[in-house]
Amino acid sequence: MSLPQQNEFLFADGPAPELHPPDPRAGFYREVSDIWQLPLGERVRILLRGHDLAEAAGRLELERAPDLPLTAREPLHLTAGGVSFLSTQVESWSLLG
């Protein structure tokens, strides 16, 4: 069995297409970010209170997923730059360039 020969290539204008399926967790992370008002997945500098360290810097990630249903009254378990902390310990944050 032989495959038919492809005679032309069609290229669309615009950004290069993504060659992988979208991350199914993206919507969940966006929802968590919106509820807790934190920039998950971004490089940040975090000032901490009630923690052994005064600050942490790095990509802000969930250390573990929050329980459902999502409610901002529950603290998030977060990590940035290898430092674990709770969302209730975040005094302030800023994005790193």
Mean pLDDT (whole number) for 7-16: 64
Query: Does residue 1 lie within any of the structural domains?
Result: no
The mean predicted confidence, pLDDT, of the chain is: 87
Q: How far apart are CA 35 and CA 55, in angstroms?
A: 22
What pTM was computed for the model? 0.73
Query: Does residue 82 lie within any of the structural domains?
Result: yes
Mean pLDDT (whole number) for 41-60: 96
Domain containing residue 77: CATH number: 2.30.30
Give backbone dihedrals phi and psi of 77, rounded to 5 degrees, phi first.
-95, 110
Query: Does residue 35 lie within any of the structural domains?
Result: yes
Query: Does residue 9 lie within any of the structural domains?
Result: no
pLDDT at 72 exceeding the cut of 80: yes
Task: List the domain range (segments joined by +) for residue 77.
Answer: 30-95
pLDDT at 56 exceeding the cut of 70: yes
Query: Does residue 3 lie within any of the structural domains?
Result: no
